[in-house]
Amino acid sequence: TENLKGDYPHFFLKEIHEQPDSIRRAIGGRLLPDFGTAKLGGLNLDKRDFFDIKRIHIIAMGSALYAGQIGASVIETLARIPTQVFDASELRYSNPIVDKETLFIAVSQSGETADTILAVKEIQNKGGRVLGVINSVGSTLARLTHGGMYIHAGQEVSVASTKAFTNQVMLLNMFALVLGRMRDVPLSRGKDLVKEIMAMPEKVEEALKCGEIVKEIAYKYKDANSILFLARGTNYPVALEGALKVKEVSYLHAEGFSAGGLKHGPLALICPETPSIFVITEGEYFEKMIGNIIEVKARDGKAIIVTTSSDERLKELADDYIKVPEVDELLSPLVTIIPMQFFSYYISLALGRDIDQPRNLAKSVTVE
Ligand code: G6P
């Protein structure tokens, strides 16, 4: 029955709405609230093996790559282990450096992406250890990897990824928590994070209520030249993923940038026909983001603001304002991505695109 669209006109919209349930499956039975950590049964590693990890390299393509970037930021924050993310098609031919202190993690929905498989084989040929963050049970990557974490998103039919992306982010968060709790993260912070993780299905449910507002906004901007996505920190990859969603489903040009990078080029693109979507959360980057919004407005740019914050200034600055629930900064991509998904859906609907099967794209890219 999961194959059926049910009441939804497209799998893409159905899969967006499935996210509270798919996130529930991702975390189900995997949290240890009393110990403020997670239990990931499929890693096939002894806890002692974790002591030797000096760096982590994440390998993926497409949306999985951006999920990996969010994961890297959370791993570095919680576990203080240097973590880099590699485009698998680049890594494979770059004569990658492999040693026993580096843990490799391949992220893939299908487990069949040729570039990711070949990069993993190159690493393994050099004696490297690779874990998987995979959706498809029994897929090539699931079999090839030393161990890993199934994300349990269920079958994803739409070519553009939604619920697999959010579950990849969730599993990488839980993995970061495990590593973090073996290092600097104290029990109390661990317990708080476990609570936050347990609350995520409801927070995402709440975030899904923005669908109607985002629909109006998307229709309003359907004739845009190009759409810019701007963010900082853990949400920077959300901007990249938001832009990818718009490109692949609506065929409009969209690009994600670090908001701090605006002055280094993208600011030249700003004009009334090129709106910017800002993703802004409370914390470290808040005031800097406000500054970036003002810069864009001063150049006649339109600002669509997606935020977890209730700060009144945002409403005043925004041409369009989308509020999502407040959550811990580390987990915020799971709610800020929701309006991006809706935006790409409705702008594609307004433009009459083939939403579930965009031209020129395949669900799983099994050739190089
Ligand atoms: C294709 C899909 C994307 C996906 C990427 C990686 O480009 O259209 O949605 O993110 O492949 O796929 P994987 O199965 O490895 O996650």
Is 365 a pocket residue for ligand 1 (Cβ < 6 Å)?
A: yes
pLDDT at 136 over 70: yes
pLDDT at 359 over 90: yes
Is 158 a pocket residue for ligand 1 (Cβ < 6 Å)?
A: no
Is 108 a pocket residue for ligand 1 (Cβ < 6 Å)?
A: yes
Is 62 a pocket residue for ligand 1 (Cβ < 6 Å)?
A: yes
The set of residues, in sequence order, having a beta carbon less than 8 Å from that of 344 and lying 6+ positions away, is 160, 242, 245, 246, 248, 249, 250
Is 113 a pocket residue for ligand 1 (Cβ < 6 Å)?
A: yes
In angstroms, the CA 277 to CA 342 distance is 13
Ligand 1 test: best mutation among 113, 240, 245, most atoms within 8 Å of CB?
Answer: 113
Going through 109-174 in order, the beta strands assigned E by DSSP cover: 129-134, 147-150
Residue with tokens 């309003």: 220
The per-residue pLDDT for 1 is 45
What number is the average pLDDT over the span 266-286?
96
Nearest to 116 by CA among 69, 42, 65: 65
In angstroms, the CA 88 to CA 215 distance is 35
What number is the average pLDDT over the span 290-305?
97
For residue 117 the two structure tokens come to 């498989």
Which one-letter amino acid corresponds to residue 207? A
In angstroms, the CA 155 to CA 4 distance is 11
Position in ligand 1 atom list of the atom nearest CA 160: 9
In angstroms, the CA 37 to CA 189 distance is 10
Is 208 a pocket residue for ligand 1 (Cβ < 6 Å)?
A: no
What number is the average pLDDT over the span 285-298?
97
Q: Are 123 and 92 in contact (CB under 8 A)?
A: no
The per-residue pLDDT for 74 is 98
pLDDT at 128 over 50: yes
Nearest CA to ligand 1 atom 4: 62
ipTM score: 0.94
Q: Are 179 and 37 in contact (CB under 8 A)?
A: no
Position in ligand 1 atom list of the atom nearest CA 136: 14
Q: Report in angstroms the alpha-carbon separations of 181 from 36, 153, 188, 219.
A: 8, 26, 10, 45
Position in ligand 1 atom list of the atom nearest CA 110: 14
pLDDT at 283 over 90: no
What number is the average pLDDT over the span 79-92?
97
Write out the H or E segment, with its range, that includes residue 37: strand 37-38
203 given a catalytic annotation? no
* Chain mean position to CA 337: 7
The per-residue pLDDT for 3 is 65
Neighbours of 101 (CB within 10 A): 8
CA of 109 to the centre of ligand 1 (A): 7
Position in ligand 1 atom list of the atom nearest CA 362: 8
**Predicted confidence (pLDDT) per residue in 181-205, tens digit:** 999 999 999 999 999 999 999 999 9
